[in-house]
Structure 1
Amino acid sequence: MARLPLSARRRRRNVAFINLMSAIMLIYYYVWLIFGLVYRRKCWQIERRLRIRELRGENLYKLTGESDAACISQLRMDRRTFHILCEMVRDVGGLRGTRNTSLEEIVASFLYVLAHHLKNRIVGKFFYRSPEPVSRNFNACLLAVLKLHPLLLEKPEPIPEDCTDGKWKYFKVNSY
């Protein structure tokens, strides 16, 4: 078989070289596109986390900071009592907020579960959390509230037999 002329061989070599360079450029642009999409997805995830954190703050403010009526209807106690309970749970019960959840949000979710008899899934959606941390925070808050038992629940004193005026003390007054 006869060899191709030099110009045809050069043309064939140039076409192969151009195809190779085109493939390398295409791979190069494809890799940069993938890097760009990964970076954009990471930015979206960060924005989503920030948006959820803002929504959690707004939701907690609507529950405990906006008005006493909203706090009473949702948590079954007014704002002042809620903050006193938070202080008692922190000081006496030893409950602390976590890196991702504040103490007020833990206590509010605990009271919300008790007030409305809801499941962890529903409370998690309301507080923008998954059910697992809701359950963990509920149990931690329950243990802290149980430590408050001697302060919050006093054993009533029996009415003396010789009392006739009806002015007796049912409970000792605890000042916290």
Structure 2
Amino acid sequence: MIGREEKNQRPRSYFTSYFTLVKHMAGISPTTRQIFNPLPQLQNCSINVSVTCSPQRSTVHLPAIKYTMDNQIREAAELVRARQLQAANLICFLVAFVALRRLLNRSRANLPTNDEILQRRYVREEMLHDLSNSGKCRELIRMSGKAFMTLCSILKRDRGLRATQRMSVEEQVATFLHIVGNDLRNRFTSWLYRRSGSTISRCLHRVLRAIISLEGRYIQQPKGDIVPKEIQEKKRFYPFFKDCIGAIDGTHVRVKVPNKDAPRYRGRKGYPTTNVLAACTFDLKFTYVLTGWECTASDSRIIKNALTRDDKLIIPTGRYCLVDAGLPHTTTLMAPYRGVRYHLKEYSTRAPENAKELFNLRHASLRNAIERAFGVLKKRFPIIRSTAEPFYSCETQSGIF
């Protein structure tokens, strides 16, 4: 009968065995209830009391009997409490053991084999070799192979960019340029380089900080001691604009911000953007960049902040920069005549008719350098041109610009 009953029973999991053991230790099962139940001990106490207090005895020690009963009750309660504490500890241990076992099994299942590791390494080495030796380097990372190797050596030598245990400096820089040059998502880049998403994210921010630290070396403001050749060599600009050192304008870059800050960054485009102020020379070299302002901020407020902050825009005495009609006309900022034709398209079918229109035409032709600089930059690095919601935060997107 016993064997037949056991045969008909459903197989029990190891959880059932664990909790059965816990019940036994807690004194809950029928076989152990009589051991840890204080009721029999209390009954023995009452029997002792009745025997001690029977008429056959001549002496009755009531205080001693009460003391003995209290001790027995206290000992029984402490025994039950100790068993319950042991059961609780055992439950916690078993839960932690099962969770750890599942985690270890899952980790072992996700670990790559030696063949997979070698294959991933081969794919990365082959990709880096193609970047530095093929003609597609400029298409993929927006610079030539020679410029790429020069940038890697500068970051290693001057900015302390170091190779990690499994990732070389060249791979880190190539990953960064691949992302900003093609507006790639973290998920696709991790698949392309056979890396985890967290590794790609850390690599992006590490290289970004190293490149931003080169700002003081490669983004230098003009001293104004020479006349730009773009003005000096053209009669329609010289000597009228001989004191001009550059052009200033702003552009909008889409960013991702929290919902509570979205109204401050949402303008006429319908999605959150940041207003980037930049200055450049007439050979399309940027000399100053100010990022982080929300698009609802006025241009006059942004230019005022750029001229007064610690890392301010410096315009030498006696020199000026060209700005559009949205900015104020001052001794250092030259704006066009308001209420007069200005944009180049407006002069495509009809020539200027007076001195103000002629000035605005030449002003627009010269200030067009900053618009062309923005166009070249956004075409080369689509991550700042895209109208889709960025994958990175507003601070990271501003740093990338």
More helix by share: 1
In 2, the alpha carbon distance for the partners of 1:156 and 1:127 equals: 41
- CA deviation after TM superposition for structure 1 residue 157, in Å: 3.2
**Paired residue for 1:62, among 130, 144, 163?**
130
Does 1:46 find its partner at 2:114? yes
Does 1:135 find its partner at 2:135? no
Q: Which amino acid aligns with 1:122?
A: F
In 1, the alpha carbon distance for the partners of 2:214 and 2:136 equals: 26
2:325 counterpart residue number: none
Does 1:144 find its partner at 2:210? yes
Does 1:72 find its partner at 2:72? no
1:85 counterpart residue number: 151
- CA deviation after TM superposition for structure 1 residue 159, in Å: 6.7
1:113 counterpart residue number: 179
Task: Write the deviation string for residues 33-66 of structure 1: whole angstroms up to 9, x where unpaired.
Answer: xxxxxxxx9xx8111111111111111112223x
In 2, the alpha carbon distance for the partners of 1:73 and 1:160 equals: 36
Q: Which amino acid aligns with 2:114?
A: I
Structure 1 runs (4+) greater than 2 angstroms displaced: 156-161, 167-171
Superposed, 1:161-176 pairs within 5 Å as 166=232
CA contact (8 A) 1:110 1:141 kept: yes
Q: Which amino acid aligns with 1:110?
A: F
Does 1:124 find its partner at 2:202? no
Task: Write the deviation string for residues 129-161 of structure 1: whole angstroms up to 9, x where unpaired.
Answer: 111100001100001001111112111233768
TM-score, normalised to structure 2, is 0.29
In 1, the alpha carbon distance for the partners of 2:167 and 2:161 equals: 12
Task: Write the deviation string for residues 80-131 of structure 1: whole angstroms up to 9, x where unpaired.
Answer: 1101100111112211111110100000000011101111111111111111
Structure 1's unaligned 5+ residue stretches are 1-40, 172-176
CA contact (8 A) 2:132 2:146 kept: no
Q: Which amino acid aligns with 1:150?
A: G
**Paired residue for 1:102, among 163, 168, 172?**
168
CA contact (8 A) 1:89 1:145 kept: yes
Q: Percent identity?
A: 28
Structure 2's unaligned 5+ residue stretches are 1-108, 234-241, 246-280, 284-401
- The 1:151–1:46 alpha-carbon spacing in structure 2 relative to 1, beyond 3 Å, is same
Q: 1:118 aligns to what SS in structure 2?
A: coil
- CA deviation after TM superposition for structure 1 residue 73, in Å: 0.5
Q: Which amino acid aligns with 2:154?
A: M
TM-score, normalised to structure 1, is 0.64
2:338 counterpart residue number: none
CA contact (8 A) 1:124 1:134 kept: yes
Q: Which amino acid aligns with 1:124?
A: S
Q: Please tell me the root mean square deviation across aligned C-alpha atoms, in Å.
A: 2.8
- How many residue pairs match? The answer is 126
More strand by share: 2
